Protein backbone atom coordinates (compact mmCIF):
# COMPACT_ATOMS: atom_id res chain seq x y z
CA UNK A 1 0.00 0.00 0.00
CA UNK A 2 1.26 3.42 -1.00
CA UNK A 3 -0.22 6.57 0.47
CA UNK A 4 0.52 10.17 -0.48
CA UNK A 5 -0.78 12.89 1.80
CA UNK A 6 -0.62 16.54 0.73
CA UNK A 7 2.61 15.98 -1.21
CA UNK A 8 3.72 19.02 -3.23
CA UNK A 9 6.72 20.16 -5.25
CA UNK A 10 7.84 23.52 -6.68
CA UNK A 11 10.78 24.34 -8.89
CA UNK A 12 11.52 27.97 -8.04
CA UNK A 13 8.29 29.87 -8.71
CA UNK A 14 6.83 27.07 -10.85
CA UNK A 15 4.41 24.62 -9.30
CA UNK A 16 5.22 21.10 -10.56
CA UNK A 17 2.82 19.32 -8.19
CA UNK A 18 0.11 20.93 -6.03
CA UNK A 19 -0.64 19.39 -2.61
CA UNK A 20 -1.73 15.91 -3.66
CA UNK A 21 -3.40 12.96 -1.94
CA UNK A 22 -3.19 9.55 -3.55
CA UNK A 23 -3.77 5.98 -2.46
CA UNK A 24 -2.56 2.88 -4.31
CA UNK A 25 -3.83 -0.39 -2.82
CA UNK A 26 -1.42 -3.35 -2.89
CA UNK A 27 -1.53 -5.39 -6.10
CA UNK A 28 -3.28 -2.67 -8.14
CA UNK A 29 -2.09 -0.88 -11.24
CA UNK A 30 -2.70 2.85 -11.11
CA UNK A 31 -2.02 4.91 -14.22
CA UNK A 32 -1.06 8.58 -14.18
CA UNK A 33 -2.17 10.28 -17.35
CA UNK A 34 -2.29 13.84 -18.67
CA UNK A 35 -0.64 16.28 -21.05
CA UNK A 36 3.11 16.80 -21.10
CA UNK A 37 4.32 18.90 -18.16
CA UNK A 38 1.31 18.16 -15.90
CA UNK A 39 3.47 16.64 -13.15
CA UNK A 40 3.29 12.88 -13.81
CA UNK A 41 7.05 12.23 -13.70
CA UNK A 42 7.45 14.56 -10.73
CA UNK A 43 4.92 12.48 -8.80
CA UNK A 44 6.77 9.28 -9.69
CA UNK A 45 10.18 10.75 -8.77
CA UNK A 46 8.81 11.88 -5.41
CA UNK A 47 7.58 8.34 -4.66
CA UNK A 48 10.95 6.91 -5.68
CA UNK A 49 12.67 9.42 -3.39
CA UNK A 50 14.75 10.85 -6.23
CA UNK A 51 13.50 14.32 -5.34
CA UNK A 52 12.26 15.70 -2.02
CA UNK A 53 8.75 17.06 -1.60
CA UNK A 54 8.20 20.56 -0.24
CA UNK A 55 5.31 19.38 1.93
CA UNK A 56 3.31 16.32 2.91
CA UNK A 57 4.26 12.71 3.49
CA UNK A 58 4.58 9.47 1.56
CA UNK A 59 3.82 6.23 3.39
CA UNK A 60 5.03 2.99 1.85
CA UNK A 61 4.33 -0.43 3.42
CA UNK A 62 3.31 1.28 6.67
CA UNK A 63 6.37 3.54 7.09
CA UNK A 64 6.65 7.25 6.28
CA UNK A 65 9.52 7.73 3.83
CA UNK A 66 12.33 9.91 5.18
CA UNK A 67 15.86 10.70 3.95
CA UNK A 68 17.04 8.10 6.49
CA UNK A 69 14.96 5.16 5.28
CA UNK A 70 14.52 5.96 1.58
CA UNK A 71 17.53 3.91 0.43
CA UNK A 72 16.18 0.87 2.25
CA UNK A 73 12.67 1.48 0.86
CA UNK A 74 14.08 1.92 -2.66
CA UNK A 75 15.13 -1.73 -2.59
CA UNK A 76 11.41 -2.54 -2.56
CA UNK A 77 10.74 -0.30 -5.56
CA UNK A 78 11.59 -1.07 -9.16
CA UNK A 79 11.83 2.07 -11.29
CA UNK A 80 11.85 2.22 -15.08
CA UNK A 81 12.50 5.69 -16.46
CA UNK A 82 11.70 7.03 -19.93
CA UNK A 83 14.08 5.61 -22.56
CA UNK A 84 15.05 2.86 -20.09
CA UNK A 85 17.97 4.66 -18.40
CA UNK A 86 20.44 1.80 -18.84
CA UNK A 87 24.14 2.42 -18.15
CA UNK A 88 25.71 2.49 -21.66
CA UNK A 89 29.11 1.21 -20.50
CA UNK A 90 27.70 -1.87 -18.73
CA UNK A 91 26.58 -5.10 -20.39
CA UNK A 92 22.97 -6.24 -20.09
CA UNK A 93 24.01 -8.64 -17.36
CA UNK A 94 25.83 -5.95 -15.39
CA UNK A 95 23.00 -3.46 -15.86
CA UNK A 96 20.45 -5.91 -14.48
CA UNK A 97 22.58 -7.12 -11.57
CA UNK A 98 24.30 -3.88 -10.51
CA UNK A 99 22.21 -3.33 -7.38
CA UNK A 100 22.22 -7.00 -6.34
CA UNK A 101 26.02 -7.06 -6.61
CA UNK A 102 26.28 -3.81 -4.65
CA UNK A 103 24.15 -5.42 -1.93
CA UNK A 104 26.47 -8.46 -2.02
CA UNK A 105 23.75 -10.95 -2.89
CA UNK A 106 24.89 -14.52 -3.37
CA UNK A 107 26.37 -14.96 -6.92
CA UNK A 108 24.40 -18.20 -7.45
CA UNK A 109 21.18 -16.42 -6.47
CA UNK A 110 22.04 -13.60 -8.91
CA UNK A 111 22.62 -16.08 -11.77
CA UNK A 112 19.38 -17.94 -11.05
CA UNK A 113 17.43 -14.68 -10.85
CA UNK A 114 18.93 -13.48 -14.14
CA UNK A 115 17.79 -16.66 -15.90
CA UNK A 116 14.33 -16.42 -14.33
CA UNK A 117 13.93 -12.79 -15.43
CA UNK A 118 15.21 -13.31 -18.95
CA UNK A 119 12.59 -16.05 -19.31
CA UNK A 120 9.92 -13.80 -17.83
CA UNK A 121 10.55 -10.90 -20.23
CA UNK A 122 11.49 -13.26 -23.09
CA UNK A 123 14.97 -11.95 -23.71
CA UNK A 124 17.40 -14.44 -25.23
CA UNK A 125 20.21 -15.43 -22.80
CA UNK A 126 22.85 -14.76 -25.50
CA UNK A 127 22.05 -11.04 -25.28
CA UNK A 128 23.31 -10.84 -21.67
CA UNK A 129 26.86 -9.94 -22.74
CA UNK A 130 25.79 -7.16 -25.13
CA UNK A 131 25.88 -3.44 -24.40
CA UNK A 132 22.66 -1.38 -24.55
CA UNK A 133 23.70 0.25 -27.87
CA UNK A 134 23.77 -3.25 -29.42
CA UNK A 135 20.09 -3.88 -28.65
CA UNK A 136 16.82 -2.83 -30.28
CA UNK A 137 14.51 -0.40 -28.46
CA UNK A 138 12.17 -3.24 -27.46
CA UNK A 139 15.07 -5.31 -26.11
CA UNK A 140 16.36 -2.33 -24.10
CA UNK A 141 12.92 -1.88 -22.51
CA UNK A 142 12.91 -5.56 -21.55
CA UNK A 143 16.33 -5.14 -19.93
CA UNK A 144 15.11 -2.07 -18.00
CA UNK A 145 12.22 -4.12 -16.75
CA UNK A 146 14.53 -6.97 -15.72
CA UNK A 147 16.65 -4.48 -13.79
CA UNK A 148 13.57 -3.06 -12.08
CA UNK A 149 12.39 -6.56 -11.10
CA UNK A 150 15.80 -7.94 -10.02
CA UNK A 151 15.31 -7.49 -6.26
CA UNK A 152 11.66 -8.63 -6.48
CA UNK A 153 10.24 -5.24 -5.44
CA UNK A 154 6.73 -4.82 -4.06
CA UNK A 155 6.19 -1.66 -6.06
CA UNK A 156 6.95 -0.94 -9.71
CA UNK A 157 7.22 2.67 -10.86
CA UNK A 158 7.12 2.90 -14.64
CA UNK A 159 7.58 6.23 -16.43
CA UNK A 160 6.39 5.87 -20.04
CA UNK A 161 8.03 2.43 -20.17
CA UNK A 162 6.92 1.86 -23.76
CA UNK A 163 6.99 5.47 -24.91
CA UNK A 164 9.81 5.28 -27.41
CA UNK A 165 8.76 2.07 -29.16
CA UNK A 166 7.16 1.71 -32.57
CA UNK A 167 3.46 0.71 -32.51
CA UNK A 168 3.86 -3.02 -33.28
CA UNK A 169 6.56 -3.64 -30.65
CA UNK A 170 4.68 -1.44 -28.22
CA UNK A 171 1.52 -3.49 -28.67
CA UNK A 172 3.42 -6.73 -28.12
CA UNK A 173 5.19 -5.46 -25.01
CA UNK A 174 1.94 -4.05 -23.61
CA UNK A 175 0.43 -7.52 -23.72
CA UNK A 176 3.51 -9.10 -22.16
CA UNK A 177 3.76 -6.47 -19.44
CA UNK A 178 0.14 -6.85 -18.46
CA UNK A 179 0.58 -10.62 -18.19
CA UNK A 180 3.71 -10.10 -16.06
CA UNK A 181 1.91 -7.70 -13.69
CA UNK A 182 -0.97 -10.14 -13.30
CA UNK A 183 1.37 -13.07 -12.71
CA UNK A 184 3.57 -11.29 -10.17
CA UNK A 185 0.75 -9.45 -8.36
CA UNK A 186 2.84 -6.26 -8.06
CA UNK A 187 1.61 -2.83 -7.09
CA UNK A 188 2.27 -0.66 -10.13
CA UNK A 189 2.24 3.09 -10.72
CA UNK A 190 2.63 3.78 -14.41
CA UNK A 191 2.89 7.03 -16.34
CA UNK A 192 1.62 7.34 -19.87
CA UNK A 193 0.15 10.07 -22.06
CA UNK A 194 -1.78 7.53 -24.14
CA UNK A 195 -5.32 6.97 -22.88
CA UNK A 196 -5.72 3.63 -24.67
CA UNK A 197 -2.61 2.35 -22.90
CA UNK A 198 -3.87 3.75 -19.60
CA UNK A 199 -7.20 1.93 -19.99
CA UNK A 200 -5.45 -1.28 -21.04
CA UNK A 201 -3.28 -1.36 -17.90
CA UNK A 202 -5.06 0.50 -15.18
CA UNK A 203 -7.92 -0.30 -12.87
CA UNK A 204 -7.67 3.32 -11.77
CA UNK A 205 -6.73 6.28 -13.93
CA UNK A 206 -5.48 9.53 -12.42
CA UNK A 207 -5.89 12.37 -14.89
CA UNK A 208 -3.66 15.37 -14.18
CA UNK A 209 -3.31 18.92 -15.49
CA UNK A 210 -0.92 21.71 -14.47
CA UNK A 211 0.23 19.91 -11.30
CA UNK A 212 -3.27 19.00 -10.11
CA UNK A 213 -5.25 15.77 -10.13
CA UNK A 214 -8.37 16.60 -12.12
CA UNK A 215 -10.12 13.24 -11.70
CA UNK A 216 -9.42 9.77 -10.33
CA UNK A 217 -11.49 6.76 -11.37
CA UNK A 218 -12.08 4.07 -13.96
CA UNK A 219 -12.18 5.05 -17.64
CA UNK A 220 -15.94 4.64 -17.45
CA UNK A 221 -16.08 7.17 -14.57
CA UNK A 222 -14.01 9.66 -16.56
CA UNK A 223 -15.93 9.15 -19.80
CA UNK A 224 -19.44 9.07 -18.31
CA UNK A 225 -19.09 11.52 -15.43
CA UNK A 226 -16.24 13.91 -16.31
CA UNK A 227 -15.31 16.14 -13.38
CA UNK A 228 -14.78 19.08 -15.72
CA UNK A 229 -14.73 19.96 -19.42
CA UNK A 230 -10.98 19.23 -19.61
CA UNK A 231 -11.63 15.51 -18.97
CA UNK A 232 -13.94 15.30 -21.98
CA UNK A 233 -11.53 17.31 -24.10
CA UNK A 234 -8.60 15.09 -23.15
CA UNK A 235 -10.51 11.90 -23.96
CA UNK A 236 -11.96 13.14 -27.25
CA UNK A 237 -8.61 14.58 -28.42
CA UNK A 238 -7.21 11.05 -28.21
CA UNK A 239 -10.29 9.40 -29.71
CA UNK A 240 -10.30 11.73 -32.72
CA UNK A 241 -7.51 10.05 -34.78
CA UNK A 242 -9.17 6.63 -34.36
CA UNK A 243 -12.55 8.08 -35.36
CA UNK A 244 -10.94 9.49 -38.53
CA UNK A 245 -9.48 6.07 -39.38
CA UNK A 246 -12.86 4.40 -38.89
CA UNK A 247 -14.47 7.09 -41.08
CA UNK A 248 -11.86 6.58 -43.85
CA UNK A 249 -12.77 2.88 -44.00
CA UNK A 250 -16.48 3.55 -44.67
P1 LIG B 1 5.15 15.28 -17.05
O2 LIG B 1 5.87 14.07 -16.56
O3 LIG B 1 3.68 15.24 -16.80
O4 LIG B 1 5.45 15.60 -18.50
P5 LIG B 1 6.89 16.69 -15.21
O6 LIG B 1 6.54 16.10 -13.90
O7 LIG B 1 8.15 16.21 -15.87
O8 LIG B 1 5.66 16.54 -16.21
O9 LIG B 1 7.00 18.27 -15.05
C10 LIG B 1 6.04 19.04 -14.34
C11 LIG B 1 6.48 20.50 -14.38
O12 LIG B 1 7.67 20.67 -13.60
C13 LIG B 1 6.80 21.01 -15.77
O14 LIG B 1 6.37 22.33 -15.88
C15 LIG B 1 8.31 20.92 -15.83
O16 LIG B 1 8.85 21.87 -16.72
C17 LIG B 1 8.70 21.20 -14.39
N18 LIG B 1 9.96 20.52 -14.02
C19 LIG B 1 10.16 19.20 -13.95
N20 LIG B 1 11.41 18.91 -13.55
C21 LIG B 1 12.03 20.11 -13.35
C22 LIG B 1 13.33 20.52 -12.92
N23 LIG B 1 14.27 19.61 -12.60
N24 LIG B 1 13.59 21.84 -12.85
C25 LIG B 1 12.65 22.76 -13.14
N26 LIG B 1 11.41 22.46 -13.53
C27 LIG B 1 11.09 21.15 -13.65
Question: What pLDDT was estimated at residue 115?
Answer: 94
pLDDT (tens digit per residue) in 117-162 = 998 888 999 999 999 999 998 899 889 989 999 999 999 999 998 8
Question: What pLDDT was estimated at residue 238?
Answer: 79
Can you give the pTM of this predicted structure?
0.91
For residues 57 and 45, give the distance between their C-alpha atoms in angstroms, rounded to a whole number.
Answer: 14
Question: Looking at the DSSP assignment, which residues form a beta bridge with residue 204?
Answer: 30
Question: What pLDDT was estimated at residue 22?
Answer: 96
Which residues of the chain carry a pLDDT beneath 50? none
Question: What pLDDT was estimated at residue 165?
Answer: 77
* Ligand 1, atom 15: closest residue by C-alpha: 37
* Ligand 1, atom 25: closest residue by C-alpha: 11
Query: Of 231, 227, 239, nearest to 194 (Cα)?
Result: 239
- What's the gap in Å between 70 CA and the centre of ligand 1? 22
Yes or no: say if 158 and 40 are a contact pair by the CB < 8 Å rule.
no
Q: What are the sequence ranges of the domains in the chain?
A: 1-76+155-216, 86-152
Question: What pLDDT was estimated at residue 244?
Answer: 75
Return mean pLDDT, the chain.
91
Write down how long the chain is.
250
39 CB near ligand 1 (under 6 Å): yes
- What's the gap in Å between 118 CA and the centre of ligand 1? 33
How many helices and strands, by DSSP H and E, does the chain display?
A: 9, 10
41 CB near ligand 1 (under 6 Å): yes
Cα–Cα separations (whole angstroms), residue 40 to 2, 168, 243:
16, 25, 27
For residues 84 and 89, give the distance between their C-alpha atoms in angstroms, rounded to a whole number.
Answer: 14
- What's the gap in Å between 37 CA and the centre of ligand 1? 5
CATH architecture under which domain 1-76+155-216 falls: 3-Layer(aba) Sandwich (3.40)
Question: What pLDDT was estimated at residue 189?
Answer: 96
Question: What pLDDT was estimated at residue 13?
Answer: 93
How distant is the alpha carbon of residue 54 from its chain centre? Answer: 23
Question: What pLDDT was estimated at residue 42?
Answer: 96
- What's the gap in Å between 42 CA and the centre of ligand 1? 6
37 CB near ligand 1 (under 6 Å): yes
Those residues with Cβ within 8 angstroms of residue 241's Cβ, 6 or more apart along the chain or in another chain = none
Amino acid sequence: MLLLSQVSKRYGDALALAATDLQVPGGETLVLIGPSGCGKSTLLRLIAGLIQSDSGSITFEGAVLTPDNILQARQQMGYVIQEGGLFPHLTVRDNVTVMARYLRRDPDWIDARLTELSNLVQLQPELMQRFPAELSGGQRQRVSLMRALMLDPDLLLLDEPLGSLDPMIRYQLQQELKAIFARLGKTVVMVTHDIAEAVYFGQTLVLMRDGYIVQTGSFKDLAQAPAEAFVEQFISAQREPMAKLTEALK
